[in-house]
Structure formats: C-alpha cells, structure tokens
Amino acid sequence: FSFIIVQFRVEKFIYKRVKKIYDEVSLLDVQDLGRNKITSDMETLSKEVKKFAEDKRLEIEMLQIREEYRREFLGNVAHELKTPLFTVQGYLLTLADGAIDDKTIRDKYLKRANKGVDRLINIVTDLDMISKLESGNLNLKFEKFDIIRLVQSVFELLEIKAKRKNIYLGYSKLYDTPILVRADRKRIEQVLINLIENSIKYGKQGGKTIVSVQNHSPGQFIVKIIDDGEGIKEIHIPRLFERFYRVDQSRSREQGGSGLGLSIVKHIMEAHYQQVFVESEFGKGSTFSFTIEKVE
C-alpha cells in the first residue's frame, strides 16, 4: 500500500512539472526537441525547454519582421513604378486627345514622357542588379587600378551637376602617387558615382564634397566621401541602405533616381567582402565611406 502512495505522489509531481513545461512551450513546434538527448533531470529539462521556447519566440518575431519588410518592399516597388507610369500615361493621353497637333506642346510632353520612361528603366535595371548581387549571379572582375584616377574620372563625370549648385569637388590632400587597389573597377566606379552624386544632390549651395583615401588596416584602404550638406537625422541612419528607403519621400522623388542607389552600394561592397559606413550630423553634413583591398 505504501508503494502505491509513493508512486501516486511521484506521478503527480512529474505531471505538474511536465504540465508546466508544456504550458511554456505552448503551441510551438517541438520537433527540434527530438534532435537533442533527453535528460532525466527535471530542472535541466525545464531550462532546456525554456531556452527552446525563447529561441522559437525570437524566430517568430524575426519572421514577423521579415514579413513586414516584404510587404513594405512590395508597396514601395508598386509606388515607385506607379508614379512614372501614370506620368507617362497622362502625357500620352493628353497628346492622343489632340494636343499632338500643337508642335510646342507635343515636343514638351514627349520629352517629359521620355523622362518617365528613363526613370522606369533605371528602377528595373537597379532592381535587376540587386537581384543578381543577392543571388551571387553578378560576376565581379577583379583587377588592379589607381583609386585616385577613378575618383577623378567620376569628378569629371559629375562636374556639370556640381557646378549647378556651385559645389566644389576635391581631395583631402594632394595625392601625387598612385594608390593601387584590387577590386571590380566598374562596380567601384558605380559606388563612387552613387555616393558623390548623393553628396551633390543633398549638398548646400556653394558647398563642397571632399574625397579622402586613408590606411584602414594592413590590407585595406578606406575611401571617404565627406560633404557639408544638410546631413541626416540619426533616426534614419539604420535604414539608409534599405531598398527604396528615402529620408524625405517627396523631395527625394523630385530629385530623381530609383531609390536603390545606397542599397546597390551596400550589396556591391558586400560582394567584395568589404564594408560601408555612414556618419552624419543633421544640419552639418555626412561622411560615407567604404573599405577596399590594398595592392602592396
């Protein structure tokens, strides 16, 4: 009889402990539990299940964040494509309704429609590039080149845009000898164009954009693009490299571009196994920088 009482109490104790553990796991998938060795120590088992439950909770939160990001991304894609599409449609419908007979209006509206088409092409091209970078299908052609000469060619390319705002393009010091790096020259040129063009776009009238190349580590240089423009509020910095993220939605669209420039910069540098950084103080300016492999 004593044996029966002891057995009953032990079973009741085990039931309470197991029920508590079950309540903690709730409706979570417990398949992962079968992968680990089951312990007979109830305290250890309880800790393991609590850890499992916490890991699953974090996993669910991450999935929810990804789903929210996916919805936001799709909404941004739709909006970015819709705006130029409706613009082109509006001009073409106006021409079809009879405005095509007026040469002045016809030429003006066709030019504006063409700008809308160009923007659509830019968005689709940039999206395609990001897709290739993410999937690893964009082959990089590594070569040795002088980063200063490449910066100078980008300065010359963007000189007219800079002059419109009287922005000075220059260097932090005189670089009288080549600075040799190893990377995909074409992609690094794209990174420089994006960063320097942004510094002009959001720079102040009569401001300046300075490029600096410094030692970063035994095998790396760091290239800095420094401007004295409007700067970026701290709240925006963590999301700057997201696709279609814009600090100022309306103004950014007026300035043109696909909204994918910084995302492309990030993906290109990641494909090189390098890093990209941003420092900014609102009202004072920004510094975007990236590391690049040295050639000794």
pLDDT in tens, 205-219: 999 999 999 999 999
Q: What does pTM read for this prediction?
A: 0.65
Structure tokens at 167: 């922005």
- Contact between 274 and 221 (Cβ < 8 Å): no
Higher pLDDT, 159 or 66: 159
Q: Identify the residue with better confidence: 142 or 127.
A: 142
Could you tell me the pLDDT band of residue 252, with boundaries at 50, 70 and 90? very low
DSSP codes joined into one string, 166-203: T-EEEESS---S--EEEEEHHHHHHHHHHHHHHHHHTS
Measured between alpha carbons, how far is residue 221 from residues 165, 187, 207, 290 in Å? 30, 17, 26, 8
Average pLDDT for the chain: 80
For residue 29, which phi and psi values (nearest 5 degrees)? -70, 120
- What are the tens digits of pLDDT across the range 175-214? 989 999 999 999 999 999 999 999 999 899 999 999 999 9
Q: Are 285 and 226 in contact (CB under 8 A)?
A: yes
Is it the case that residue 50 has pLDDT exceeding 80?
no
Which residue has 């600096």 as its token pair? 212
Give the whole-angstrom CA distance, residue 212 versus residue 226: 8
Q: How does pLDDT run across 70-98, given as a tens digit for each residue?
A: 666 566 666 667 777 877 888 888 888 88
pLDDT digits (tens, 9 = 90+) for 134-190: 777 778 899 999 999 999 999 999 999 999 999 999 999 999 899 999 999 999 999
Q: What are phi and psi of 182, to 5 degrees?
A: -125, 120
Are the beta carbons of 232 and 242 closer than 8 angstroms?
no
pLDDT at 244 over 50: yes
Are 232 and 280 a contacting pair, CB within 8 Å?
yes
